[in-house]
Structure 1
Amino acid sequence: MHGRRPPRATRAGLAAAVAALGIGGWMTYDGVRVQTPPRPSVADALTARPGSAHSTSGPDATAMTFSPPVRIRIPSIGVDAPVVALGADTAGHLRVPPEDDRNLAGWYRDGASPGAAGNAVMDGHVDTPRGRAVFYGLGALHKGATVSVTRADRSTAEFSVYGIEVYAKDAFPDERVYGPTSKPELRLLTCGGGHTKATGYLGNVVVYARLVKSLRP
């Protein structure tokens, strides 16, 4: 199985992290897939629009200081995984977690850390040649689900999911997903949207979440 490089983002003013992540090419692989990942339900999917990403009810937690993530937990879909920091390759494209560990999530180290102000971006494989991987169940999340990220300073950033979407890889809304924000937000990404042997996965699942609680030792 071979990873296809995502194209670079083109929206003017995006940070270097956004340019590295690209427009909708996240973790799109060639190869035969025998499993169909869950897709968001109509009731829980977010119809994202510019300017509406933060128009959610409930209190906003105060942004935390920068600290790298070391573990992510999503109890409702059984995720409990270590996190590896990811950089960009020489072409400016985000690297993906190694496939030899199916229970491993990635974090873009040149962007915001989970809990700090800004959009923290984390990704994970939906599956590998050996079967389901860490973010296989991402599309099965519901609004209000909890995502907890343990950080290197031993604090925990707790997020609440407010939207789940599937985007075609050739129509990925980079500004909606990666656009700047002064609030602490989290984006989780994996492959989805159907799969063909010829093209690999046809889209990407994106989970939108915002910080609701910070826990310190």
Structure 2
Amino acid sequence: MSDNVWLVAGLGNPGPGYAGNRHNVGQMVLAELAARIGAKFGKHKTNSTVAEGFLRPGGPKLILAKPNSFMNNSGGPVSQLLNFYSLEPSRLIVVHDELDIPFDTLRLKSGGGPGGHNGIRDIISAAGTPDFIRVRVGVGRPPGRMDAADFVLRDFSAAERQALPNLLVDAADAVEKIADDGLTAAQQHFHSIN
């Protein structure tokens, strides 16, 4: 069964004070996916909030997970979820913010280093491998001399909030395409339009 099951982890920080931050865009994408599959998030014993459902009858099962830890400590909950559901890291899709990609752009990849993203670094460490899929949601670079850590902990600007719903839809579409058709097909589709 695990060949048609995907663990989709949306990274962010817990609590309402962080909900609109750029750093929480991964969790925003999971909210879009949960609405599509008609699933509600509930507490899970792996220090995560989880929603489960199928893309369609007979289609791939998605286990949507928001770690309840802070971003930099995402690895423990994600590793626990992989163990709980008996999934290999190759069945993991991590949705996260990416500073090195312009806002409103997606990039999909598998493997590689953390690229300065501490949440990804912690997942690589806890999972023991970098070989999982990432949906990298571009949030752009901080303006002027603003510190990157300060930038990602700020809410999206008013102009960005206008485009944000479409970006969340695109990122959710990318997760669905990966689950349905594989990473290569998803890259060919989304990298050509972004």
Give TM-score, length-normalised by structure 1: 0.25
TM-score, normalization: structure 2?
Answer: 0.26
Q: Please identify which structure carries the higher strand content.
A: 1
Q: Select the structure that is richer in helix.
A: 2
